[in-house]
Structure 1
Amino acid sequence: MAEDRLSRRGGHMVISAALQRQLEALSDARGDDHRAARARLLEGAAASRAEIARLSDDGSVRWPVRSTAAALLLALDAPALFDNVERWARGDFRLGPGAPLGGAPLPSLRAERIAGAGPRVLPRAVELLWNERDRIDDGGVLALVLAIGELAAQGVDRSLAALAALVEEGDAFAAAAAAEALSRTGSRTAVAPLLGALGDASRDLGVRCAAATGLGLLRASEAAERLLALFVDPGTPAPLRVEVAVPLARIAGEIAVAPIVERLSVETDTRTVQRMVDALADTRALAALEPVRRLAREHPDGFVREAARGAADLLARRVSAR
């Protein structure tokens, strides 16, 4: 019994091992198992509220457990808000059960509603993405990820960690969305999880492509070597090579010109050629100007020639402005 009660030692609150084990199990459970475990915990959680709050702020405890504890606190203190996060993620903005329901709002509008409720919703949003993905469709996932991104932009504690965790371990759709949201925060803490996802050949291709794009948005110099290696490796999947071209150009600049031009000499897909022309413009390098102008004059596809002319004009302005 003593193990299950809140105690104090030296003026500091001590978290019971039994409660911590229960919260760890809750944080690891998924779907119906998670909901059943949460219902059992909520039956006696009011008596342990102070202990749960202490655990949610304990930096020595694993981040998923702390987040689960914070979500449980929200369920205790504001059950209507706890339920509303899921409703809003689904696009249900009705004021009551009898109100009419039209078409679901866009994920961006759902995200605005969720984030507008304030920092308290973060652990519930994470719980839905992590433990109750079975209740949320892809539109809801995107809404929740965008909401976490908005909270991160507001400087809300743990929101960046939530996005990073989703990039590293979320399902393919959630991880790709989180990679984009994480890169848009502009935070340097985004670089490590994005680099990890990009370099992991076992990850979904969409996640790796999103990570590459995100690293380009961040202009992360640490990524230049890995991006270049992927671009020149014949074993790199074609969609990833195409996606890597622009971030490589943005980060590596003139160093990227030669490998991109070499690839253009053997590339036959017109969309891929246009993408690499855009990449050459993003190098802002004088060495890229003549290859782009040559494509504008000589490429057999009219769309490519038009794209190259636009890229040549843009590149010329960028070079002269340096």
Structure 2
Amino acid sequence: MPDGPTLIPIPVFTEYAWHLPCPQCDADARQPCQAPRKQSRHDRLNKLLTQNGRDPIPAPEYGFMHAQRTAAGVRHRARDIGAAPWREDRTPGVRYDTIDRSEPWTAPSRSDHPELILAPDDVDRSGRARLGANRYDRSTIAWPYGLEDGVARAVRKDPERLARALVHLAVGRSTLVSWASHYGLTSSRREPCCTRWLTRPAHRVCRLDPMTGDRECWDGYSYGRDWRDHPMAWTTTEGRPAALTSAPYLRPEHVATELDILTSRDERLAWISGADGWYGFHTHQIVIWRRDLLGRIDTADRIRDAVQTALSPAIAPPGTT
């Protein structure tokens, strides 16, 4: 045996980071998980015991994996998150700084030609299914701001403005439900706190900083402001956060840097901008979405153009045909 004390290498824990919060140690997304620390402490203790001639302490059945992990070394994105493989189980040349770095995902397959929902009854039926009922009046649909029934009621005494409002509602509502149906999205009934909401497997807001009392959000608690004007949060039919849409009056080039920074924090996120979308009024639609859940997404502009073309004979104001 060597004369001097044996140095026990301690792994660098910062190489462990996760896309999703750990259900056991409650580490936030992309923050160090506690499983590697517990594993390292256990390994260090066993080395000390072995050096002193004592039997090592056996590890738990599945090592220090978290929550229903059935096999050490399996890498996945599901809710049963575990630690990265032990060093002897790792493949040379493969990065383990995130739980699924370089893990390919299969984009959903869908038609390149969205099916338009045009008939008023079909629009209402799809709107109720995708958006739910209005919380204040369960008999009506929870249309977003700018597409709610009050838009027409506010100008009902002015025939010309009423006709324009009805055209706006018909096109906007048909565009919204056609877009949501094409991508299999449902409006989230609970408001997210920031863009970080998209990285989670279910609805969850950022926790509060114990010192300041503010939420530990990526882009501050500013949902509904700046580029997030007229926001909508969307989930898959299974309830997983999948997309955020907004309709700011700002031009996309004015917020491109901020959006690039936000989406660079998680490789699964991407963003795209377009024209009016379903909101209209000279806004610019912005969509941030999960590429692994939705594949490639387009703004609602192409659908809006098709809806306007299809509805133009029926919604043309009096005296224009």
Q: TM-score, normalised by structure 2?
A: 0.27
Larger relative contact order (CA 8 Å, sep ≥ 6): 2
TM-score, normalised by the number of residues in structure 1? 0.27
Q: Which has the higher strand share?
A: 2
